[in-house]
Chains A and B, each alone.
Chain A
Amino acid sequence: MDVFNPLIVLLVLAGLYMAWNIGANDLANAMGTSVGSGALSLKQVIIVAGVFEFLGAVMFGKRVTSTIAKGIIPVDSIKMIDPHIVVIGMLAAILAAGFWITLATLYNLPVSTTHSIVGAVLGFGLVTAYQGLIAFSSIDWGLLGKIVASWLISPVLGAVLAYIIFSIIRILFLQKTDHPYNIEKKFVKLQILTACYIAFAHGSNDVANAVGPLYAGLDALGVVNTVVPTWVMVVGGLGMVIGLATWGYRVIETIGTRITELTPTRGFSAEFATATVVVLHSFSSLPISTTHTLVGSVIGVGLAGGLAAVDLSVIWKIVASWVVTVPAAALTSAVLFVGLMGIGL
Chain B
Amino acid sequence: MKKLEYIRSVLNVFAKSPFKPLAIHASKGTEAVLKLSEAMDAYFEGDMDRVMVLSEEIDMIEHEADVIKQAIRSQLSSSIMLPVNAEDLLNFLKPQDSIADVTQDVAYWLTLQHNEIPDDIKEGMLDIMSKTVETAKTYEELVGTLSDLLETSFSKKEVEEALSIVPRVEELEHEVDVIEKRLVRLLFKEQDQLGGTGVYHLTELIFTLGKIADKAENASDRLRTMILRR
Contacts and interface: CB of A to CB of B under 8 A. Distances in A.
B13 A32 contact: no
A311 B6 contact: no
Given A175-B156, A308-B82, A312-B80, A247 B14 contact: no
Interface string B1-35: 00011111111111111110000000000000000
Interface stretch (B106-114, B129-137, B144-152): B144-152
A178 B157 contact: yes
- In the A-B complex, the 4 residue pairs with the closest CB atoms: A308-B17, A175-B155, A313-B79, A311-B15
Interface residues of B, number: 33
B181 interface: no
For chain A, the bracket of interface size reads 35 or more
Contacts of B155: 170, 174-177, 180
A29 interface: yes
Nearest to B147: A308
Given A295-B13, A303-B81, A314-B13, A308 B150 contact: yes
Given A255-B10, A311-B12, A317-B12, A304 B153 contact: yes
B164 to A, nearest CB: 15
A106 B153 CA distance: 37
A178 B16 CA distance: 27
A309 B16 contact: yes
B10 A298 contact: yes
Interface string A21-32: 000111001001
Given A180-B148, A251-B9, A309-B80, A261 B4 contact: no
Q: Which of A24, A29, A108 has the most CB of B within 10 A?
A: A108
A306 interface: yes
Nearest to B79: A313
A305 B154 contact: yes
Interface of B: 4-19, 75, 77, 79-83, 148, 150-157, 230
B79 A108 contact: no
Contact of B17 (A174, A304, A309): A309
B81 A312 contact: yes
A111 B151 contact: no
A310 B14 contact: yes
A308 B154 CA distance: 12
A259 interface: yes
B10 A29 contact: yes
Contacts of A308: 17-19, 82-83, 150
10 contacts: A104-B8, A105-B6, A109-B8, A174-B152, A247-B6, A261-B17, A305-B83, A305-B154, A309-B81, A310-B81
A298 B13 contact: yes
A29 B8 contact: yes
A111 to B, nearest CB: 7
A110 interface: yes
Nearest to A175: B155
A312 B9 contact: no
A146 interface: no
Contacts of B11: 254-255, 258-259
Nearest to A179: B152
B230 A312 contact: no
Contact of A106 (B4, B10, B75): B4
A299 interface: yes
B157 A305 contact: no
A302 interface: yes
B80 A311 contact: yes
A298 B79 CA distance: 15
B9 A175 contact: no
Contacts of A259: 11, 14
Given A255-B9, A302-B83, 18 more contacts: A29-B9, A106-B6, A108-B8, A110-B8, A170-B155, A175-B156, A180-B151, A180-B152, A181-B151, A251-B7, A255-B10, A258-B11, A294-B10, A298-B14, A307-B83, A309-B15, A311-B15, A317-B12
